[in-house]
Chains A and B, each alone.
Chain A
Amino acid sequence: DAKTTQPNSMESNEEEPVHLPCNHSTISGTDYIHWYRQLPSQGPEYVIHGLTSNVNNRMASLAIAEDRKSSTLILHRATLRDAAVYYCILRKGGGADGLTFGKGTHLIIQP
């Protein structure tokens, strides 16, 4: 799996937008960009994924750079329940292989 680079931690205030960056300069053409998050004492939770175009769902938005070497997960209005470790992961299309987790970004939300 290609490598991703994320900041170790970020801090934001409640009810403000949060932009979580991810660099993946060695991404290949068949790699999808997946985001998962892990709340304390829980299993990883799927957030969003995309290939080339920006994506929106009820949880977040994913903005993918034109050259696909970076992406940004956007939480439009953070709540205390969004405090978690966020993982940016590359996975080949078809999804037969497993997910390789890095250290992720520990998101801290201040009330």
Chain B
Amino acid sequence: NAGVMQNPRHLVRRRGQEARLRCSPMKGHSHVYWYRQLPEEGLKFMVYLQKENIIDESGMPKERFSAEFPKEGPSILRIQQVVRGDSAAYFCASSQGELAFFGQGTRLTVV
């Protein structure tokens, strides 16, 4: 049973470009969570999704950020018109029940 898979592991984007981060949950898991970790800081919750539904997006910036978890395929975190402040590690977790498991993250660098 493969763990939570995130890709790419590293992503470099120029200011103004779009970043797409993908997360494949563990097999059988229908709950996906996205977190952001700025350099030298803690993990901040962004959004919680179930298949085809956004359950809680209280941690998502109001503009430029969006997330989806379609019926088929991975969950996508999309950042439009990236700025330098978006540079961070983005982690995805999946759960089905009490335990949540994390991927290894995507490290986004905006140049």
Residues of A whose CB lies within 8 Å of any CB of B are: 32, 36, 38, 42-46, 49, 91, 93-104
Contacts and interface: CB of A to CB of B under 8 A. Distances in A.
Main secondary structure of the interface of B (DSSP, over half): strand
B53 to A, nearest CB: 12
B95 interface: yes
Interface string B51-78: 0000110000000000000000000000
A94 B98 CA distance: 6
Given A49-B99, A95-B95, 4 more contacts: A42-B105, A46-B99, A94-B98, A95-B31
A91 B103 contact: no
B45 A98 contact: yes
Most B-side CB within 10 Å, residue of A43, A49, A102:
A43
A104 B42 contact: yes
A99 B93 contact: yes
A97 B45 CA distance: 11
Contact of A46 (B48, B91, B101): B101
A44 B91 contact: yes
Contact of A95 (B43, B56, B91, B99): B99
Interface residues of B, number: 23
A104 B35 CA distance: 16
27 contacts: A36-B102, A43-B91, A43-B102, A43-B103, A43-B104, A43-B105, A45-B102, A46-B100, A49-B98, A49-B99, A94-B97, A94-B98, A95-B95, A95-B98, A96-B31, A97-B56, A98-B45, A98-B48, A98-B100, A99-B45, A99-B100, A100-B45, A101-B43, A101-B44, A101-B45, A102-B42, A104-B42
Given A95-B98, A97-B48, A42 B43 contact: no
A80 to B, nearest CB: 20
B6 to A, nearest CB: 8
